[in-house]
Amino acid sequence: MSQERRYSFEFFPTKTEAGHEKLLNVARQLASYNPDFFSCTYGAGGSTRDRTVNTVLQLDGDVKVPTAPHLSCVGDSKAELRELLNLYQNAGIKRIVALRGDLPSGMGMASGELRYANELVEFIRVETGDHFHIEIAAYPEMHPQARNFEDDIANFVRKAKAGANSAITQYFFNADSYFYFVERVQKLGVNIPVVPGIMPITNYSKLARFSDACGAEIPRWVRKQLEAYGDDIDSIQAFGEQVISEMCERLLAGGAPGLHFYTLNQADPSLAIWKNLNLKR
């Protein structure tokens, strides 16, 4: 794995002008720490397509941090994907996060010409050559829709070998799951950097809901401590900051090639961890 560490922050496009202005202010604050890139999510079936494009172009052009749009193949035709790739290429975007994407409720699996992320990675390579640095998703604790862990590992290897440059994981709270995943894929000949995705803990009920949906395991001792705090937000945040900072220290000490922070469009929770780790840029 690469010895060069990289640090990045993820945003989601907002629905209102006020929310968008807040997002840009948060991005400017985070930009002052010289991250390697930002990323911006893409709604189920491309439902936030225009907002994603506009946010990406503003973060890249105005905030002046290289920004990677998420691109998912579910729900989009090859022509629509080609149009997006051309738009991003012409705008000077150099990095893409290539995902299968989530299906909006009611949408059948047949929607879209590409069904899996490895097909999307191959498509991007055929269409644009080596222009884009392609990120793919990794699931140290298994994708919630995978049949089993072996299938999920095989899916990751397929995506990586289709032409990916690096990977970003779903968030997790157990460093051992990350190290085990990396060890497994390396034994299968995949040596691209796998960057841990980091979710700051700020709100227990939201975190529990997110985690149940995406298959991220909250260790019992963490869950029980968070439950014990009830509505004491200050204690939840202080405990969460300590737990995540200590996990990040262990990840970096164990050779993780960087960190990717899921900001939820907030600066302070990620920056608290950043400062605890004394990440000089």
Could you tell me the two tokens for 33?
Answer: 């720490």
In the three-class reduction of DSSP (H, G, I as helix; E, B as strand; rest coil), residue 257 is classed as coil
Could you tell me the two tokens for 155?
Answer: 């899916």
The C-alpha atoms of residue 8 and residue 208 are separated, in whole angstroms, by: 24
The C-alpha atoms of residue 211 and residue 225 are separated, in whole angstroms, by: 16
The C-alpha atoms of residue 118 and residue 136 are separated, in whole angstroms, by: 9
The C-alpha atoms of residue 123 and residue 191 are separated, in whole angstroms, by: 22
The C-alpha atoms of residue 265 and residue 80 are separated, in whole angstroms, by: 27
The answer to whether the beta carbons of residues 42 and 99 sit under 8 Å apart is yes
> What is the 3-state composition of the chain as percent helix, strand, coil, each rounded to the nearest 5?
45, 15, 35
- With CA atoms as reference, report the closest residue to 241 among 233, 231, 253: 233
Note if 10 is an active site residue: yes
Exposure on the CB side of residue 40, measured as CA atoms within 13 A: 26
Active-site annotation holder among 4, 10, 21, 183? 10
The C-alpha atoms of residue 22 and residue 6 are separated, in whole angstroms, by: 25
- List, by residue number, the catalytic residues: 10
